């Protein structure tokens, strides 16, 4: 099924906010109920697709018929932008100024090549579309001209599986649950479970360097990738002849995170692991975020490392966002900071790591809370986007942003981003509630994931743009990276340019010119327009 056109996921999973939360929004943040309902899908004024007859015919030819080139209003609306809060506010107001002219559905690598060549010939920008879950402006080209959304949903096969080497080759349009189900038939798992898991695609994971909630144990998605095939207007790139190689720079790393600017990923070969015998999750309480972060750092550096390892700050713990399905429940365990640890693997391995990690956490001041908080987290781990939509429905503004840095800089980065958001939004008359958690850990550093809730203000999109700008400046100023796993898109592009530096951007632009001389691949995403 398709996602809700004006929100996240399955409409049947949406739920209204508990009264405790609506009261908090009203009393603490001054949130007022919406005065008007969002526009209905059928009431959106959709212009006719602006496709030259020759371009339309070339697309028909590329994918074997007009049934795979869709130009109806609803399909085009469903492929407009992604799922960030500004994206949703715009579509709920009926704004479709960056609507695709057509949605094209290729069946295989050769058809993708044919579509890209047709688009290059006719000057049509093309935006790859997997699950549609981008939250950084990755699905709308920078040029306000007719463009094609290249929906890869027909490319949804398990292409190969090597149980000896423990590898699988997956088509890019496979959504994560489908991929897990196909692998489970052979006794394997990918182990990649980001918050977007229920809707995101394999190709999207690779194109954005996704990171799953079990990254402490399974690694980031880019660490799982052993090979990629890329279709470009100039031909095909195949990478990954062996797990590791000294044959020059690794082209896989050039393609991972390229966000459709260099080509379209048409297959991904990944490392797989046996389906775990045991999965167990539990909660721990720490007196402060600083104390909890020190405990996570010790496990990340010296082990044993859990499969899942995350820590909510005091505010996020108090509100209950550490366990989304318990939001606003007023749990007695809400004091201090909540950490979640999880263990997946064989019975023997999980028991060993759990026991050893518990000793470390106790030594660092942690108090065990048992399995109930961990099971609540696991049950609600994909619920936060639905909660965001419920907040929007109630008249609040809710958005997230994330970054990463080295352990020694975590305190400064945490304080800088919080201060920037608090100052900017308070000065605008909408004092925010800011929550944060450490979402991913490494031996040398960690990521910080912020959730911001405030009143919407008169012009909520412009209101957020000012706060987001201030947060981005704070991130670079404190030595953080502009994104850890959401990607660059258009929202982070200008700060990515500064992070990479002039020579780095020129080198990437040279690659793009070689692979995409007509400049039709997701223009304005990742790299500035010429």
Binding residues for substrate: 388
Q: Is the pTM of this model over 0.75?
A: yes
Per the CB < 8 A criterion, the answer to whether 452 and 421 are in contact is yes
Mean pLDDT for 406-416 is 98
Alpha carbons 47 and 77: distance in angstroms, whole number: 11
Per-residue confidence band for 329, with pLDDT thresholds at 50, 70 and 90? low
- Active-site residue (options: 197, 218, 343, 449): 449
Binding residues for FAD: 128-134, 208-211, 259-265
Mean pLDDT for 152-160 is 98
CA-based nearest residue to 185, from 156, 212, 158: 158
- Domain boundaries, given as residue ranges, for the chain: 47-151, 158-274, 278-379, 384-491
How high is the pLDDT of residue 332? Answer: 47
Per the CB < 8 A criterion, the answer to whether 258 and 222 are in contact is no
Ranges assigned E (strand) in 333-432: 337-345, 367-370, 396-406
Hey, what CATH topology would domain 278-379 get? Alpha-Beta Plaits (3.30.70)
Q: Which CATH architecture has domain 158-274?
A: 2-Layer Sandwich (3.30)
Hey, what CATH topology would domain 384-491 get? GMP Synthetase; Chain A, domain 3 (3.30.300)
Alpha carbons 411 and 369: distance in angstroms, whole number: 26
The token pair at 252 is 């896989």
How high is the pLDDT of residue 18? Answer: 82
Report the number of secondary-structure helices (H) and strands (E) in the chain.
19, 18
Binding residues: 128-134, 208-211, 259-265, 388
Per the CB < 8 A criterion, the answer to whether 180 and 155 are in contact is no
Per the CB < 8 A criterion, the answer to whether 416 and 15 are in contact is no
Q: What angle do CA 179, 181, 186 make, to 5 degrees?
A: 100
Residue 94 gets the label, from left (phi > 0), alpha (psi -120 to 50) or beta, of left
Q: What is the mean pLDDT of the chain?
A: 95
The token pair at 301 is 């550096």
Alpha carbons 61 and 56: distance in angstroms, whole number: 9
3-state SS class at 353 = helix
Give me the sign of the Cα torsion angle 163, 165, 166, 170.
negative
How high is the pLDDT of residue 34? Answer: 79
Alpha carbons 432 and 376: distance in angstroms, whole number: 26
Alpha carbons 421 and 417: distance in angstroms, whole number: 6
How high is the pLDDT of residue 325? Answer: 61
Summarize pLDDT for 158-173 with one digit per residue, the tens: 999 999 999 999 999 9
How high is the pLDDT of residue 358? Answer: 98
Summarize pLDDT for 81-136 with one digit per residue, the tens: 999 999 999 999 999 999 999 999 999 999 999 999 999 999 999 999 999 999 99
Summarize pLDDT for 168-195 with one digit per residue, the tens: 999 999 999 999 999 999 999 999 999 9
- Mark whether 449 is an active-site residue: yes
With a CB cutoff of 8 Å and minimum separation 6, the contacts of 178 are: 156
Per the CB < 8 A criterion, the answer to whether 297 and 441 are in contact is yes
**CATH code matching the domain that covers 47-151, chosen among 3.40.50.450, 3.30.43.10, 3.40.50.2000, 3.30.300.130:** 3.30.43.10
Per-residue confidence band for 2, with pLDDT thresholds at 50, 70 and 90? confident
How high is the pLDDT of residue 320? Answer: 83
Res. 143: pLDDT tops 90: no
């Amino acid at each position: 099924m398709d996602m809700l056109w004006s929100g996240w996921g399955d409409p049947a999973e949406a739920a209204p906010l508990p009264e405790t939360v609506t009261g908090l929004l009203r009393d603490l943040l001054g949130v007022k109920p919406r005065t008007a309902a969002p526009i209905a899908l059928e009431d959106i004024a959709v212009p006719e697709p602006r496709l030259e007859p020759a371009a339309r015919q070339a697309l028909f030819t590329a994918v074997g018929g007009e049934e795979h080139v869709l130009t109806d209003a609803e399909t085009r609306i469903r492929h407009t932008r992604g799922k960030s809060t500004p994206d949703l506010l715009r579509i709920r107001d009926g704004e479709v100024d960056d609507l695709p002219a057509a949605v094209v559905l290729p069946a295989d690598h050769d058809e993708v090549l044919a579509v890209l060549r047709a688009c290059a010939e006719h000057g049509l920008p093309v935006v790859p579309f997997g699950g549609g879950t981008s939250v950084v402006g990755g699905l709308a080209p920078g040029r306000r001209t007719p463009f094609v959304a290249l929906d890869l949903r027909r490319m949804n096969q398990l292409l190969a599986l090597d149980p000896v080497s423990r590898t699988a080759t997956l088509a890019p349009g496979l959504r994560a649950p489908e991929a897990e189900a196909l692998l489970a038939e052979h006794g394997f798992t990918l182990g990649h479970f980001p918050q977007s898991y229920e809707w995101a695609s394999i190709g999207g994971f690779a194109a954005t360097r996704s990171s799953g909630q079990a990254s402490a144990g399974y690694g980031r998605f880019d660490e799982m990738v052993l090979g990629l095939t890329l279709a470009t207007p100039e031909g095909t790139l195949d990478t990954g002849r062996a797990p590791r190689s000294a044959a020059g720079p690794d082209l896989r790393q050039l393609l991972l995170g390229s966000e459709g600017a260099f080509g379209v990923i048409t297959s991904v070969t990944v490392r797989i692991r046996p389906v775990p015998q045991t999965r167990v999750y539990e909660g721990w309480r720490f007196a402060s975020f600083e104390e909890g972060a020190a405990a996570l750092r010790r496990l990340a550096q010296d082990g044993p490392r859990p499969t899942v390892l995350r820590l909510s700050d005091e505010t996020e713990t108090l509100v209950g966002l550490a366990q989304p399905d318990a939001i606003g429940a007023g749990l007695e365990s809400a004091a201090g900071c909540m950490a979640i640890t999880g263990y997946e693997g064989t019975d023997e391995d999980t028991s060993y790591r759990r026991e050893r990690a518990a000793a470390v956490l106790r030594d660092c001041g942690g108090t065990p809370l048992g399995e109930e908080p961990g099971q609540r987290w696991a049950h609600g781990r994909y619920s936060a986007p639905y909660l965001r939509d419920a907040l929007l429905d109630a008249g609040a503004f809710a958005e997230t942003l994330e970054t990463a840095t080295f352990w020694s800089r975590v305190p400064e980065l945490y304080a800088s981003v919080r201060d920037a958001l608090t100052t900017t939004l308070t000065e605008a008359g909408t004092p925010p509630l800011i929550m944060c958690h450490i979402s991913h850990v490494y031996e040398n550093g960690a990521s910080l994931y912020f959730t911001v809730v405030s009143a919407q203000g008169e012009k909520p999109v412009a209101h957020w743009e000012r706060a987001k700008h201030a947060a981005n400046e704070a991130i670079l100023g404190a030595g953080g990276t502009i994104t850890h796993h959401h990607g660059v898109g258009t929202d982070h592009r200008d700060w990515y340019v500064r992070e990479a530096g002039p020579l780095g951007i020129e080198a990437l632009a040279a690659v793009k010119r070689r692979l995409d001389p007509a400049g039709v691949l997701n223009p304005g995403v990742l790299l500035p327009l010429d």
